[in-house]
């Protein structure tokens, strides 16, 4: 059974002193996760240019969930925003790489690595 997707936003500061929004996801990401994934992103200030996607508490992502993440990344790219993702299991890092997500967001193993890349 799919667990509910939860998301919340934290704010950090990049090494260069810029505001970074961290979208933290929890549970499973699937077609029912649109509000938790896209809604959370779209509610953020449009002038913010740096984002981290935290997948450390995500248990499962199906193809519909990957499509939502890709939609978020395309919107961010079109807005000139930089996105990094971290906390994916080895399996989902491989899947994200196979579907081309690194074309839109670099993948890192930890928040510290991702934040240092901004």
Q: What's the pLDDT tens digit per position in 58-80?
A: 999 999 999 999 999 999 999 99
Span 20-43, mean pLDDT?
Answer: 96
CA 33 to chain centre: 13
Of 14, 75, 11, the C-alpha closest to 42 is 75
Task: Give the residue ranges of DSSP H helices in the chain.
Answer: 34, 40-42, 63-78, 90-98, 111-116
Contact 37, 25 (CB under 8 A): yes
Question: What is the third-level CATH fold of 6-112?
Answer: Transcription Regulator spoIIAA (3.30.750)
The pLDDT value recorded for residue 2 is 73
The pLDDT value recorded for residue 1 is 67
Q: Where exactly are the structural domains of the chain? A: 6-112
**Per-residue confidence band for 106, with pLDDT thresholds at 50, 70 and 90:** very high
Span 78-100, mean pLDDT?
Answer: 96
The pLDDT value recorded for residue 46 is 86
State the average pLDDT for the chain. 95
Cα–Cα dist 101/103, whole Å: 5
Percent of the chain with pLDDT over 70: 99
């Amino acid at each position: 059974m799919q667990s509910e997707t939860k998301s919340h936003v934290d704010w950090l500061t990049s090494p260069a002193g810029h505001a970074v929004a961290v979208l933290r996801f929890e549970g499973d990401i699937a077609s029912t996760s649109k509000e938790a994934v896209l809604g959370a992103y779209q509610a953020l200030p449009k002038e913010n240019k740096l984002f981290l996607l935290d997948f450390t508490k995500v248990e499962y992502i199906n193809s519909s969930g990957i499509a939502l993440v890709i939609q978020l990344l395309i919107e961010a790219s079109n807005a000139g925003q930089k996105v990094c993702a971290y906390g994916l299991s080895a399996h989902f890092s491989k899947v994200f790489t196979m579907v081309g997500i690194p074309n839109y967001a670099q993948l890192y193993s930890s928040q510290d690595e991702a934040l240092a890349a901004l």
